[in-house]
Homo-oligomer: A and B are copies of this chain.
Amino acid sequence: MTVPIESLSINLATLRMQWNLREAVEACARHGIRAVGPWRDQVAAIGLEESARIIKANGMRVTGYCRGGMFTAADDASRQAAIDDNKRAIDEAVAIDAECLVLVAGGLPPGSRDLAAARRMVADGLTAVLPHARACGMPLAIEPLHPMYAADRTCINTLGQALDLCDQLGEGVGVAIDTYHVWWDPNLAGEIVRAGAPQRILAHHICDWLVPTKDMLLDRGMMGDGVIDLKNFRHMIEAAGFYGPQEVEIFSAENWWKRPGDEVLKTCIERYYAVCVNGQERGPSTR
């Protein structure tokens, strides 16, 4: 194999039903995996210091911390609470030495039908937390989610939109590009090129789009089981100058979350080599 396993990261949501953070990190290490992406609730469950210690003790790179955001709310107090919470998330990301804080911006506030206003709230929220992120040296990765989540998760639904925000906000903000959320976009190729110049790709998540998709949230596919051209996707991402690990993030209530964690990790590695890498990679960047 020409591509080292250092190019593979495991988002720990993929194993959230099987293991806590310690168990998941140790399992990844057992399988030779060198990078993970933990979630805030997984860190909170065993404590921030202990999480940082386990990650460091296992020599794990943290390719992203999930997640901040959720800036949209119906009133000023709730919006301020979200800003304060994002500052705490930034501090946690620093404590576990994450390479970025992944942000899911927030959907329509309760009772609202005004997407444009929600989008302004996101820009305002990001503007409010950015000084703290910059002071901490923690990059913020805006993750556009599939348009089917526009109402309830995030009103940032295309890579182009996320990059417009980056242009507006300047230094310290970039994007997390997840194959699941953007694979359908007719402007994808051009927007990935744009994301690379200047370089704003901070994280890159992978999984597959199943046909049929039986649940809008919890039926993501293992790489190779769906219709996304993952090799071509990786090629575009690398052509745009991002050589960081591809981070497997699979929410799968009825399939992968029900299987033994070791089987999931073994499959992630097999599929990664079978359907993701091109065999012509320059190899991963080092930190």
Contact = CB atoms under 8 A, between A and B. Distances in A.
Contacts of A169: none
A148 B151 contact: no
A170 interface: no
Contacts of A155: 184
Contacts of A108: 211, 227
A228 B226 CA distance: 30
Contacts of A148: 146-148, 213, 216
Interface stretch (A28-36, A112-120, A134-142, A263-271): A112-120
Interface residues of A, number: 30
A147 B180 CA distance: 11
Contact of A184 (B114, B150, B228, B229): B150
A158 interface: yes
Given A227-B113, A229-B113, A186 B158 contact: yes
Copies of this chain held together in the complex: 2
Interface of chain A, main secondary structure: loop
A18 interface: no
A185 interface: yes
A110 to B, nearest CB: 9
A184 B157 contact: yes
A229 B150 CA distance: 13
Nearest to A150: B184
Interface of A: 108, 112-115, 119, 146-148, 150-152, 155, 157-158, 160-161, 183-186, 209, 211-213, 216, 226-229
29 contacts: A108-B211, A112-B227, A113-B227, A113-B228, A113-B229, A114-B229, A115-B183, A115-B184, A146-B148, A147-B147, A147-B148, A147-B184, A147-B185, A148-B216, A150-B183, A150-B184, A151-B184, A151-B209, A151-B211, A151-B226, A151-B227, A152-B211, A152-B212, A155-B184, A157-B185, A157-B186, A160-B186, A161-B186, A213-B216
What are the 6 A-B residue pairs with the smallest beta carbon separation, nearest first? A150-B184, A113-B229, A147-B184, A148-B148, A151-B211, A161-B186
